[in-house]
Structures are given as C-alpha cells and as structure tokens.
C-alpha cells in the first residue's frame, strides 16, 4: 500500500453557522487517483476548498506529505506541491492562453523547465497550442477546462485537486479529458483527488472512492468493488435492481436501509 500523500482527519468546515463538512476522514495514497462522489450540496467542493486552503476548518487536521496545511494560505499550499482546479475553470479571461499557462508557473524560476512543461501540456491538449495567442475568455467550455488543468500542471504539482472537470461538457469531451487525467497520473506520477458527479467515468479511472452525503462519508471502497455494488449501480449509474421499490437512504456505517 503506497504511503498517504494527503491525510484528512475529523475535519469540520462551516459556512457561517452551517456545518458543511461533518467530521470527515480520508486518505489519498501517493500516485493514486481517489474520487469523492455525492449529490449537489453534499459538501464535495467544500472538501477541496478546505484541503487547498481556500476555507479553514473549524476542527480537525489536513496533512500533505506529512506537513500540517490546515489554516495555511492557498498560495503556501500550492508552493508545497498541491494544485487546485476549481469548479467553473476560473481562467483569466482577458489573458491569452499562453499567458494563462505561464501564470500557472509563476512560483518557478527554471525557464528551461517551464518551456519543457509548456510543450508537455501542448502535447496533452494540442488545441491550446493552436489557440496560444487567443484570449482565454473566448475559448469554448471544454477548451477552458483543458486550460485550467494545464495551468495547474505548469506548477509541477505532486497532487491535483479536480472539481467537476466534466461539468457542462459533451460526452466526447468528457471522455477526452478523463483520458488525459489518467495519462497525467500514470505518465507524470501526479496524485489526483477527483470530485465528480459523473460517477461512471470517475469510478472507471480512479483507484479508490468515497461516497459523501450531507457532509459525511457514508461508503468507501476500491472503485472496482464500488462498481459492482447494486446500490451504487442504482443511485449513481442509473441501473435499477429487479424488484426494488421505494427510496432507500444511507445508514451511517457504510450500509444501506
């Protein structure tokens, strides 16, 4: 079992008086892809914001490569090797594609390495090279997602946090982007924590998965085993069990009722 690169322990995070994350704990082993599944409002995005320093937890700890990062400013977290690709892409719309990519490397001081990594992301996403001088705000949604992922790669992260990379994209583009995420993991050794509503795609590329409901982790297992669970098939993959009627809810200890 690879050592844990990210360890989240008993974390609680609030929006004002509302508890969004309810004492969750999970690990992400070095070199693996781990996915967090859950409905809208379950707390998936809050987890990533808490890990990357955008939000501070009121309780618990977040360790990255053995170092406590909870409460640390996002720029310091990023300098430690953790890049966050947020939901909605958030590219710099008035800068060119090339300028956006160079912004991803703003903490680096190795021009040769930056040039190599620029060629690397162009190899992953050739359309970005073709549109290098185009304003990022004029790209399609899929191209902006490619740019957001590539900008994060330019920091040479040890780990990437990906928040809904398939959101609003066509099935063809979704497959293309997930294929690239898998390549980045296998070829570059980048550890990935993936938040995604497209459970089918996420479970097919990830090694391990957690299911989140109302701020709590209610199930976890290797993705190959999650794909075989009837409840996952029904509620996340749209495959109905014969003879099942009514609606079931999660039990707290990783079972169903």
Domains of the chain, each with CATH number or no CATH? 4-236 (3.40.50.300)
Q: pLDDT confidence of 153, banded at 50, 70, 90?
A: very high
Q: Are 90 and 148 in contact, with CB atoms under 8 Å apart?
A: yes
Residue 74, SS3 per DSSP: helix
Task: Please state, for a pLDDT cut of 70, what percent of the chain lies above it.
Answer: 92
Q: pLDDT confidence of 246, banded at 50, 70, 90?
A: very low
15-32 pLDDT per residue, tens: 999 999 999 999 999 999
Q: Are 224 and 35 in contact, with CB atoms under 8 Å apart?
A: no
- Alpha-carbon distance of 92 to 144, in angstroms, equals 10
User: What pLDDT is stored for residue 168 in this prediction?
Assistant: 82
User: What pLDDT is stored for residue 253 in this prediction?
Assistant: 40
Q: In this structure, what are the phi and psi dihedrals at residue 240, rounded to the nearest 5 degrees?
A: -80, 140
Q: In this structure, what are the phi and psi dihedrals at residue 135, rounded to the nearest 5 degrees?
A: -65, 135
Model pTM score: 0.88
């Amino acid at each position: 079992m690879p050592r844990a690169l990210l360890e989240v322990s008993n974390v609680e995070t609030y929006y004002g008086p509302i508890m969004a994350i309810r004492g969750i704990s999970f690990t992400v082993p070095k070199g693996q892809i781990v996915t967090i599944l859950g409905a809208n409002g379950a707390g998936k995005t809050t987890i990533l914001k808490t890990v990357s320093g955008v939000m501070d937890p009121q309780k618990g700890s977040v360790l990255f490569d053995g170092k406590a990062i909870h409460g640390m400013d996002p720029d310091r977290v990023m300098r430690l090797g953790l890049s966050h690709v947020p939901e909605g892409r958030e590219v710099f719309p008035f800068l060119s594609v090339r300028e956006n990519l160079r912004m991803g490397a703003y903490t680096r001081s190795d021009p040769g390495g930056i040039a190599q990594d620029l060629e690397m992301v162009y190899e992953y996403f050739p359309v970005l090279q073709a549109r290098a001088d185009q304003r990022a705000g004029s790209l399609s949604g899929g191209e902006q997602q490619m740019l957001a992922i590539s900008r994060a790669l330019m920091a040479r992260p040890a780990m990437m946090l990906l928040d809904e990379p398939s959101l609003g994209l066509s099935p063809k583009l979704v497959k293309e982007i997930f294929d690239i995420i898998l390549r980045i993991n296998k070829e570059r050794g980048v550890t990935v924590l993936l938040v995604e509503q497209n459970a089918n795609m996420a479970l097919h590329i990830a090694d391990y998965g957690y299911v989140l409901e109302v701020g709590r982790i209610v199930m976890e297992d290797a993705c190959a085993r999650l794909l075989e669970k009837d409840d996952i098939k029904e509620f996340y993959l749209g495959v109905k069990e014969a003879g099942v009627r009514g609606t079931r809810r999660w039990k707290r200890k990783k079972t169903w009722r």
